[in-house]
Chain A
Amino acid sequence: MNIVVCVKQVPDTATERKLRSDDKTLDRDAADGVVNELDEYAVEEALRLKEAHGGEVTVLTMGPDKASETIRKALAMGADKAVHLVDDALHGSDALGTSYALAQTLKKIGFDLVVLGSESTDARTGVLAAMLAERLGVPQLTFANKVEVNGTSIAIQRVTDYGYDKVEAVLPAVVSVVEKINEPRYPSFKGIMAAKKKPVEKLGVADAEIDVAQVGLAGSWSEVADFAAAPPRAAGTVVKDEGDGGVKAADFLASKKFV
């Protein structure tokens, strides 16, 4: 089975994240880049599927040169090879543009199964899996907390508010995973040393036959109109319990529409 895992480099959630004042895109130099956490679960799931069914795991990243660190981590965890889609023309692409660029690349490199995290910790749109599947004309199986492959059929448990749905499809397909699906492995030191020697193919927009009019800031259908720093946290309200603490707590929750 030819599995492609899409991973994204995001700014470390433990640090302060900033937008650039010039083009209102994410300031990627302001914070250390890390692998989007949900994508680590995607890598783990892809590795487990490979271990169970054989095949190959390819990492696909779209991002600046710095994103090679993210590729290296996925390779160190055990992926076999990587494709790095890197081109200045891609800078500022929104979800629609990103899904187009990734879909073009996936058509070029081929796949039986695409696995990715259900959202990224930076933009948090959570729509990429659906957009990718639509652009590729394959089934989408999203928010999976369990994946089973049997020959050419695939079944997942799709997490919902009320429990889960069972969703089945035929490969090729796109699967997005949630964090309950597994416990990602640490890259081992041997894996880290071996990752150096694994092939990483760099593709530009021309290599992937990407129409530059559909990507980048100019090609995006959504834009950041304005942004401001989060206001400092206001002081909390202190409620004194004078025998009516329970009522006051309930009133507070009701005022916030929690009850």
Chain B
Amino acid sequence: MDDLLRIDDALSEEQRLIRDTVKEFVSDRVLPHVGDWFEDASFPARELAPALGELGVLGMHLEGYGCAGLDAVAYGVACRELEAGDSGLRSFVSVQGSLAMFPIWKYGSAEQKEEWLPRMASGEAIGCFGLTEPDHGSDPAGMRTHAKQDPSGDWILNGAKMWITNGSIADVAVVWAQTEEGIRGFVVPTDTPGFSAPEIHKKMSLRASVTSSLYFDDVRLPAAAVLPGVRGLKGPLSCLSEARFGILWGVVGAARACLESAVDYSRSRVQFDRPIGGFQLTQEKLAWMYVGLGQSQLTALHLGRLKDAGSITPRQISFGKLANVRAALDIARQARTVLGGNGITLEYPVIRHMNNLESVLTYEGTQEIHTLVLGEALTGIPAYR
């Protein structure tokens, strides 16, 4: 399919090479199998993580500790090509790099960084991020998970987290908990006694991705387990801004995969003696999908440039996450109709992306919360509660 607006011409040679490399990897290692992973509700993280590490995907936008140090646009392009494979793959990478490695890299002690970052960059160690709780999703400030220091200085962690990507397969969890001095982050090795992470089953979305609950039952952590560099909700929120940036690029890839599939199908599927792509109703669908795709791509590129300039704001990221996920979901649903009955099978990527995007619409700030962020930006009146 033609990049009609030639948006990728704006990429540098390195950014294009990163695009092509990830695309090739996804085409070789993911696309032949992802339909089966989705059907079997499995994700071969232990096989993929070292390969992704070797490529330099894990923590790609961080500097040092074996990370590649990519600029924001290159990071975005890589997320786009990963999610053109599957949102589950991109989620794995986002969680590893932006939610687990980023807080250690940004707020961790020298020891925490040395212990975890090189192993996480290589894919030897897998990380997860515990913020959302069963009763506190959009309202994380109300979290009930708490940590208390006993007289020895050790932290005792109790509580539960939910909807945690990579939870059951992680070697380390970055867990946010209430303390007497406000919300703090903790680096929790998952083999610590009292830690458990049962997998959440019966999902109809992000099936090629591991989702878990985390339970902390008197988990005893050394004083050095706390992230020294941040206090309060701004810690986890800053991680989410990183990850949301990856999402607003990533969903462009999922949307593109759906449109490509719909275009191919419409050109070869014959009804009433002509390809259905020759019917005006189909062309209208395809044309609007193309418009939506181009607009979300431009939004992503613009926000990437703002991020590289160091001036991006959380509100701008909310705009991108809201607009691009919505556009991608609309494109996926339209593509599904073009494919007719075939649109519901895993022989084609469309229903997989469509179902995945239902999760993406909700996680990392629901569309409702991002809507309220923009509402507040316009009116000056917060409407969250």
Judge whether A192 and B18 touch: CB under 8 Å: yes
Q: In the complex, which of the residues B17, B55, B69, B78 contacts A73, with contact meaning CB atoms closer than 8 Å? A: B17
Residues of chain B within 8 A (CB-CB) of A187 are: 17, 21
Give 1 or 0 for each of A187-221: 1 = CB within 8 Å of chain B CB.
11111110110000000000000000000000000
A68 closest partner in B (C-beta): B13
Does residue A252 face the partner (Cβ distance < 8 Å to B)? no
Chain A residue total in the interface (Cβ 8 A): 16
Residues of chain B within 8 A (CB-CB) of A147 are: none
Given contacts A68-B13, A69-B16, A196-B14, contact A190 B68 (CB under 8 A): yes
Given contacts A72-B13, A188-B54, A188-B56, contact A193 B68 (CB under 8 A): yes
Please measure, in the bound complex, the distance between the C-alpha atom of A34 and the C-alpha atom of B14, giving whole angstroms: 14
Does residue B57 face the partner (Cβ distance < 8 Å to A)? yes
Given contacts A193-B68, A193-B69, A193-B70, contact A188 B17 (CB under 8 A): no
Judge whether A186 and B25 touch: CB under 8 Å: yes
Give 1 or 0 for each of B64-91: 1 = CB within 8 Å of chain A CB.
0000111000100010000000000000
Chain B residue total in the interface (Cβ 8 A): 19
Closest-CB distance, B96 to chain A (whole angstroms): 14
Does residue A76 face the partner (Cβ distance < 8 Å to B)? yes
Please measure, in the bound complex, the distance between the C-alpha atom of A192 and the C-alpha atom of B54, giving whole angstroms: 13
Give 1 or 0 for each of B1-29: 1 = CB within 8 Å of chain A CB.
00000000000011011101100110000
Which of A34, A76, A193, A196 counts the most B-chain CB atoms under 10 A from its CB? Answer: A193
Closest-CB distance, A16 to chain B (whole angstroms): 11
Judge whether B55 and A188 touch: CB under 8 Å: yes
Which of B14, B17, B20, B54 counts the most A-chain CB atoms under 10 A from its CB? Answer: B17
Residues of chain A within 8 A (CB-CB) of B70 are: 189, 193
> Which B residues contact A (CB, under 8 angstroms)?
13-14, 16-18, 20-21, 24-25, 54-57, 60, 68-70, 74, 78
A-B contact list, 15 entries, CB within 8 Å: A68-B13, A69-B13, A73-B17, A73-B20, A76-B21, A186-B54, A186-B55, A188-B55, A189-B21, A189-B55, A189-B57, A189-B74, A192-B14, A192-B56, A195-B14
- Leading 4 A-B pairs by shortest Cβ distance: A189-B56, A189-B68, A188-B56, A190-B68
> Which A residues contact B (CB, under 8 angstroms)?
34, 68-69, 72-73, 76, 186-193, 195-196
Additional A-B contact list (11), CB under 8 Å, known A188-B68, A189-B70, A193-B69: A34-B20, A69-B16, A186-B25, A187-B17, A187-B21, A189-B56, A189-B78, A190-B68, A192-B17, A195-B14, A196-B14
